[in-house]
Chain A
Amino acid sequence: MSNLLEVSNVSKRFTMGGLFGRKTVDAVDDASLTLSAETPEIFTIIGESGSGKTTLARMILGLELPSSGEISFRGKTVSHRVGRQERLEFMANVQPVFQNPFEAFNPLKRIDRYLESTARRFLKLSQRDDLDGAMDGSLQKVGLSLAEVKGRYPHEMSGGQLQRAAIARALIPNPPLLVADEPVSMVDASLRMSIVNLLKSLRDDLGVSVIYITHDLATAYYISNRLIIMQRGRIVEMGDARTVLDNPEHPYSRLLKASVLSTEDAGDGKLATDPGMVTLAGELVGRPGRLVDRADGRMVRVYG
């Protein structure tokens, strides 16, 4: 069994402040995870703002170097400064999808130009027909076509279409791994499911693995195979998505689940969160603890 991506004991420490009163923040502390090359999966990273989920994703994308630990892609270490050639090769294999499609695209640039430059760079195409073919091919995968997109500016498309176009751009070099940082949080509820279903079909039909970063437990439950839950830089629970979310064990995971607004009792107006739960989860911030294995395959951080 070979590994597609291996993140081992990665930490990231940011330094804040000047010469005096310098402070350090551990954005990610000792995170490890592995994605297998054989079985494509949707691997979800759940956490609130400040949990380090985006920093972890940026390190996987090579946009940030870890302070310690190592990230390797197909057995090759990528978490150090690399040359241009090596960097391009890595970028062709791991592609990002960002949160807000309206900000990811320059409003003055036509969308097909993004797709075209990606095709030129990573597929080394230069003939008009080849370029159009590659662009159309990847747009078809997301339910769009080149005819719909060609010559259009970002403001001419809806948020859902634009996010699809962003995914189509990421798919051009046929990457085995996509890193999607909150891809649906800026998309309307009615269009959200079309993006989520698209990620699911990328995994099932095209065999693309996806690292899906979100704070929405409901969509995570819906599409992911495995997940990790992060609290202030530490992984507190990790395992099969259904096992963990059906019956979360760590106090923080339980708090998150209890905070999901359910629609089962629509109209009853139940909005109280057990304050004991909040304190219990809050007390664990900053305590190191250690991850232990459980019988059902999950890992939970325990303390003391």
Chain B
Amino acid sequence: MTQDLLKVDGLKAYYQMDYFGVTREVRAVDDITMTIRKNEVYGIAGESSSGKTSFIKVLAAAIRPPMRIVAGTVKYDFKNGPIDVATASEAQIEGIRWRHLSYIMQGSMSVLNPVRRIGKTFEDFAKRPLGLSGEAYRARILNHLERLKLPADVLRAYPHELSGGMRQRVTIGLATVCHPEFVIADEPTTALDVVVQKEVLGLIREIQQDMGSSVVFVTHDMSVHANMADRVGIIYAGRLVEEGPTRQMFFAPKHPYTAHLVASLPRIGDTTQRPALEGRPPSLANPPAGCRFHPRCPLAIDKCKTEVPPLETVGPDHRTACWRWRDVEPLVKPQAMQGVIA
């Protein structure tokens, strides 16, 4: 089952703008190499303006000016043949969208057309890619709604008549009705309450396992990754700084930024002082030299200020880009965490 579905190689995507002869370049994605396997949930974490949204826009083949792919390839290995979305034509991308490559969007209110009934929206999304009509189409949709635990009545409802959780389930339904092989989920639960959030996350996981597809799950909330992802990758200032199996990332991180993200999570039953990361995220128009994390890093040495650390393999499936990864201590010890209530 460890076949690769997506191979990203040396991807650089920049925003290039030209104002009155002055060129401004924002290096939103700067040399990312990674693979995503079949049937796995890959979590991407990173703060706002770290380039994670630009990265998944490339993965979703939604590359629009001023963003441009400067170098690298993004190769999918779909059932209907391999495709490199960095160079594919509009028509080729049209052929994979929704059926093979799909996207769960963030704000469920702005995704659904407020003046169109949910059933009509389903038709807009799914009728053509599914290639079904009449009774067969209807049966397929109803079957899918049942799996999402949505009543058939929602097809006649307008978006404003549904609760936030139901709307989010509808957007998940739209994204998964064609049984895509690859689903990108961009912060699908940030606007939801805790109870609903857990329910929606469980649903995404369930559907992913049913369909056997791969999901790239993006959020800055590490506690969501802890429960959703098989592997987690951390993006900082346009670069992948660490990736590894979820458990390793939480209990034995090898990058100071990951260690910080994990340690700063408050837990019920534990009131010890949590460290806060000072400083602001670097500007992608003018990133610091060397390791981009060095101005905020507690372990930084002179080497970090001048030389860019390569992504090294430090364990099975575990890679990190840090000169001092051997000295990174998990800020929260697993033993201390086991005493805490579950």
A73 CB to nearest B CB, Å: 30
Q: Is the CB of B195 within 8 A of A255?
A: yes
Q: Is the CB of B201 within 8 A of A160?
A: no
Q: Is A209 an interface residue (CB 8 A)?
A: no
In the complex, what residues of B have CB within 8 A of residue A217's CB? 194, 268
Q: Is A280 an interface residue (CB 8 A)?
A: no
Report the interface size class on chain A.
35 or more
Q: Is the CB of A222 within 8 A of B198?
A: no
Binary interface profile of B, 16-32, with partner A (CB < 8 Å = 1, else 0)?
A: 00000000000000000
Q: Is A150 an interface residue (CB 8 A)?
A: no
Q: Is the CB of B264 within 8 A of A192?
A: yes
Stretch of B71-79, B138-146, B218-226, B307-315 on the interface side: B218-226
Q: How far is the CA of A82 from the CA of B212 in the complex (A)?
A: 63
In the complex, what residues of A have CB within 8 A of residue B271's CB? 221-222, 242
In the complex, what residues of A have CB within 8 A of residue B265's CB? 189, 218, 263
Q: Is the CB of A188 within 8 A of B220?
A: yes
Q: Is B340 an interface residue (CB 8 A)?
A: yes
Q: Is the CB of A190 within 8 A of B224?
A: no
Stretch of A6-14, A122-130, A268-276 on the interface side: A268-276
Which positions 73-103 of chain A face chain B at CB distance < 8 Å?
none
Which positions 155-211 of chain B face chain A at CB distance < 8 Å?
164, 193-199, 201-202, 205
Q: How far is the CA of A217 from the CA of B194 in the complex (A)?
A: 9
Check A188/B194 contact, CB under 8 A, given A245-B268, A270-B227. no
Which positions 238-253 of chain A face chain B at CB distance < 8 Å?
242, 245-246
Q: Which residue in chain B gives the minimum CB-CB distance to A256?
A: B194
Q: Is the CB of B274 within 8 A of A267?
A: no
Of B194, B224, B246, B270, which contacts A259 at CB under 8 A? B194
Of B198, B220, B221, B280, which contacts A273 at CB under 8 A? B198
Q: Is the CB of B274 within 8 A of A271?
A: no
Q: Is B132 an interface residue (CB 8 A)?
A: no
Q: Is the CB of A219 within 8 A of B342?
A: no
Of B196, B224, B276, which contacts A197 at CB under 8 A? B276
Binary interface profile of B, 229-267, with partner A (CB < 8 Å = 1, else 0)?
A: 110000000000000011101110000000011101111
Check A273/B251 contact, CB under 8 A, given A218-B267, A219-B266. no
Check A262/B226 contact, CB under 8 A, given A222-B266, A271-B205, A273-B199. yes
Of B227, B262, B277, which contacts A191 at CB under 8 A? B277
Q: Is the CB of A161 within 8 A of B280?
A: yes
Of A158, A189, A215, A262, which contacts B193 at CB under 8 A? A215
Q: Is B86 an interface residue (CB 8 A)?
A: no
In the complex, what residues of A have CB within 8 A of residue B268's CB? 217-218, 221, 245-246, 257, 260
Q: What are 15 A-B contacts defined by CB distance under 8 Å?
A: A48-B194, A49-B193, A159-B48, A188-B220, A193-B276, A194-B278, A196-B274, A215-B194, A259-B194, A262-B223, A266-B226, A266-B247, A267-B245, A269-B230, A271-B227
Interface residues of B (CB under 8 A from A): 47-49, 164, 193-199, 201-202, 205, 220-230, 245-247, 249-251, 260-262, 264-271, 273-278, 280-281, 337-338, 340-342
